[in-house]
């Protein structure tokens, strides 16, 4: 649900725009236009004046910055874009469902993409050279459709020896669509035979 703000003077709108983007870096120009009751072009002009990049560039910048310390995966092995990551604590990733990820007949996202986003985020959280999914208890809450934006939020809930339990909830517009509890094996030792 978007709460519409009555029209503001340009300076006030731009101040609020900066706050909204800082608090929700995933917000689109379309959502901002609705929120401020102005055109998308007005939002784009405001962003350009303020030196705020478009959503895709903001995400790339955040992903590059947060992924530098990940030991268990390479950036190209992650499904979705990691936006925030504190190793062995929590992480957030974003995945926009595209045409090649849905069933052609229904426009519903294939479940393995939703699972892969959550699983790769859980593995990326582990601050070890080796991190492998040992077990996953998952539940799909509702279908996800073409062009919907998935935000996965992961949190390490416990670590004991070589195993970590990671809870992942995936949302579309704050609506829970997927949840999982992943048991991840962790180690710094490469075993060769």
The domain ranges of the chain are 10-52, 64-187
Would you state the pLDDT for residue 21? 84
Q: Is the pLDDT of residue 150 over 80?
A: yes
Q: What does the pLDDT look like over 153-171, one tens digit per residue?
A: 999 999 999 999 999 999 9
Task: State the Rg of the chain over Cα.
Answer: 19
Would you state the pLDDT for residue 115? 98
pLDDT band at 83 (very low <50, low <70, confident <90, very high): confident
Q: Is the pLDDT of residue 190 over 60?
A: yes
Instruction: Tell me which residue of 89, 71, 75 sits closest to 131, measured CA to CA.
Output: 71
pLDDT band at 96 (very low <50, low <70, confident <90, very high): very high
Q: What does the pLDDT look like over 15-68, one tens digit per residue?
A: 888 888 887 777 888 888 888 899 989 988 988 888 887 877 766 666 555 555
**CATH number 1.20.1050.10 is the correct assignment for the domain at 10-52:** no
Q: What is the pTM of this model?
A: 0.69
| Homologous superfamily assigned to 64-187 | Hotdog Thioesterase (3.10.129.10)
Task: Please report the sign of the dihedral spanned by the C-alpha atoms of residue 65, residue 66, residue 69, residue 74.
Answer: negative
pLDDT band at 71 (very low <50, low <70, confident <90, very high): low
Would you state the pLDDT for residue 172? 96
């Amino acid at each position: 649900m978007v709460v519409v703000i009555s029209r503001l003077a340009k300076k006030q709108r731009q101040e609020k725009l900066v706050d909204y983007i800082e608090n929700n870096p995933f917000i689109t120009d379309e959502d901002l236009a609705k929120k401020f009751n102005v055109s998308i072009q007005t939002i784009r002009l405001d962003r350009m004046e303020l030196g705020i990049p478009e959503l895709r560039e903001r995400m790339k910048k955040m992903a590059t910055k947060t992924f530098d310390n990940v030991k268990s995966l390479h950036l190209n092995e992650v499904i979705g874009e990691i936006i925030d990551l504190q190793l062995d604590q929590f992480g957030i990733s974003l995945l926009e469902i595209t045409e090649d990820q849905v069933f052609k007949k229904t426009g519903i996202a294939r479940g393995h993409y939703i699972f892969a986003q959550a699983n790769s985020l859980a593995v990326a959280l582990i601050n070890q050279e080796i991190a492998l999914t040992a077990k996953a208890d998952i539940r799909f809450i509702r279908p996800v459709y073409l062009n919907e934006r998935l935000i996965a939020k992961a949190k390490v809930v416990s670590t004991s020896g070589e195993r970590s339990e990671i809870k992942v909830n995936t949302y579309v517009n704050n609506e829970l669509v997927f949840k999982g509890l992943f048991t991840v094996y962790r180690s710094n030792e490469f075993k060769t035979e």
